Copies of this chain bind each other. A is one copy, B any other.
Amino acid sequence: MFSFEELTKQFAQRFNTRHFPGTVASLYEPAEYFLSMGGKRVRPVMCLMANELFGDIYPDAWHVADAIELFHNFTLIHDDIMDKATLRRGMQTVHAKYNEPTALLAGDVMMITSYECLSKINAPYLHKLMNIFNKTAKELCEGQQLDMDFEKRDNVTLEEYLHMITLKTSVLLAASLQMGAIIGGSGEGNQDLIYEFGKNLGIAFQVQDDYLDAFGDPQKFGKQPGGDILANKKTFLLIHALEVASASQKKELLGLISGNAPDKVAKTLQIFRDSKVDSWSKDLKDKYLDIALKHLDDIAVISSRKKPLQELAGFLVQREY
């Protein structure tokens, strides 16, 4: 069996090549440019790992891994257009470097290419995997739409936010694992368990992400905290703070959100601390991480095979920070 790091290296070696024809260059170069920006390639590697949980990695798993990574990158290109983001991983986004129509079309052709990879897999799995892939793809769109809808609302509940995050982030992790498991020969019960492992791990990761954006060590995470606060983004922290804060704190928080005071970040963080949102969010992250690991435990394979996926969980979501 391979470790998470080893499979990441193997996948990168395979994936870091041209994915598009030479012509029409004005369409395909922007798509290649975006892929060359790299990324952790977590989702495709999760697919490979889930395959290996049940048996040797089949060639089909590599095709599905390619499809997943291309689909993920398509969503990023289009999300960047929708969010008017000009930078990603420190580099220009596609629409910023080229133009919006080209970025839109480069995203489209990347989605089509992901289906091209998917259609390389063998007949016995093709229908089943396409159903999961399509369902997940639609859920991602739903999550992105809800995220945009929520930006215009002040009364988003924790339950609604959790639902949005699950669609936007978690289901692709979950489906990547499930598809790998299917190729590995897993039964239905284990497929459901690994799906739930991925879904809850994704939620834990997002809670951690929200926490670190507010309270993360700038030395350790390479960026100043408070980006979400400055952008008035809905996060687990803000939504919970609005639910538990006292009337006066809530009034202050709403005032901070609607304004651009120079001490906006500091004052918001103080309210978060005063209403114990920081420790609450650590507990919430641990809760979802535990649920995830419990589902992994319950999968009916010998426990030594689960080590790489446990490592992955530890890589994505830390107990302590």
Binding site for B on A (CB under 8 A): 23-24, 26-27, 78, 81-82, 100-102, 104-105, 107-109, 111-113, 115-116, 119, 123, 126-127, 130-131, 134, 137-138, 141-142, 144-146, 148-149
Contact = CB atoms under 8 A, between A and B. Distances in A.
A134 B104 CA distance: 18
A107 to B, nearest CB: 8
Given A126-B127, A142-B27, A149-B26, A78 B104 contact: yes
Contacts of A107: 108
The oligomer's copy count stands at 2
B145 A105 contact: yes
7 contacts: A26-B146, A27-B145, A78-B105, A81-B101, A82-B100, A82-B105, A126-B126
A25 B104 CA distance: 23
Given A108-B78, A141-B27, A127 B134 contact: no
Contacts of A149: 24, 26
Contacts of A111: 108, 111-112
B138 A109 contact: yes
A108 B148 contact: no
Contacts of A26: 145-146, 149
Given A27-B145, A82-B104, A119-B131, 16 more contacts: A24-B142, A26-B146, A27-B141, A78-B104, A78-B108, A81-B104, A101-B148, A107-B108, A108-B108, A109-B141, A113-B134, A113-B138, A115-B130, A119-B126, A119-B127, A119-B134
A28 to B, nearest CB: 8
B142 A116 contact: no
B141 A112 contact: yes
A115 B115 contact: yes
